[in-house]
Amino acid sequence: MLAGGLLESPYIQECIRKEFEGELQVICADEGRLSVVKGAVILGCTPRGNITRKAPYTYGFYQIRPFDLTKHDQSLCIIHNNVKQCDKLFCKLIEKGQTMHHNESFAVEGEITIRD
């Protein structure tokens, strides 16, 4: 289903139909511009609690944690301030494909040590 002002062009419609010929059925909305405007109005009137989306990627951050031989590969072990640490760990906050809701927050517990 295609919508939007640009798709009111017969040339654009034909190009898209040729590109996907035999693979997809291309349907063009009547009054394409109006379809987009109506969708925007519906979205604007929708309570934000009902808006969700799927994460396109996995999100997180790099961290260094105390080294544990039962959990971590020896090649990741580094010595930092005379303490064995596990380097290059990725702490996931959101996984690819996870459903996220409007105003949802994500957190992880941790600690920060600052030394002179």
pLDDT in tens, 51-110: 788 999 999 988 888 899 898 899 989 998 888 999 888 888 999 999 988 788 888 776
Token look-up 């063009």 returns: 28
* Token digits of residue 32: 């394409």
**Angstrom distances, CA of residue 95 to CA of 5, 49, 99:** 35, 21, 9
Give just the sign of the alpha carbon dihedral 24, 30, 34, 40.
Answer: negative
What's the pLDDT score for residue 114? 60
What does pTM read for this prediction?
Answer: 0.46
Question: Is residue 113 very low, low, confident or very high in pLDDT (cuts 50, 70, 90)?
Answer: low
**Angstrom distances, CA of residue 102 to CA of 16, 50, 67, 93, 95:** 34, 8, 37, 16, 16
What's the pLDDT score for residue 112? 65
Measure the N-to-C terminal CA separation of the chain; round to a whole number of Å. Answer: 61
Average pLDDT over residues 28-53: 78
